[in-house]
Structure 1
Amino acid sequence: MFVLVDPLHTYLLYDLVVIIYSWINLTSAGGGLLLLLLLLFLLILGVCLSAWRIRARRRRRTPRCASAAGLFRNR
């Protein structure tokens, strides 16, 4: 489910989901909607984090001397 996030974040998100899911099961029987909303939020957060990291990685590839000389211009 959290394919786009690096492994460390994947394990942390999975642990968080398991903890919250067990807490919901202990406190109330009707926490399914809350769990679905939480999973949706975590999925969107993971996609945004991975997109931000990919964008930051692309920015770093352009050498500073080449960008200063105007060899790589933004299209």
Structure 2
Amino acid sequence: MFLFSKDEDSPRLKQLRALSLFSTLSPRELKTADNLLHERSYLQGEVIFDQGEEGQALYIIETGKVLICRQGQQAEG
């Protein structure tokens, strides 16, 4: 019996499976990981997190760009 076979071909699960971090997960594990994800959009220039903050999330960039810089470092481009 295949669990989650209906959702296995969903675009989001295919995108996750294509990422090396998730590529070796079983269908059940992948579905569990997918259920923990929350989509969020950010505005241009919005700070997602600050240097030194304790990690609270894993960020997967689906579209767009993210500039990562250290405090005191001048942002480029």
TM-score band, normalised by shorter chain: under 0.3
Larger Rg: 1
Query: If each structure's helix is expressed as a fraction of its own residues, which one has the higher value?
Result: 1
TM-score norm. by structure 2 comes to: 0.27
Higher relative contact order (CA 8 A, sep 6+): 1
TM-score, normalised to structure 1, is 0.27
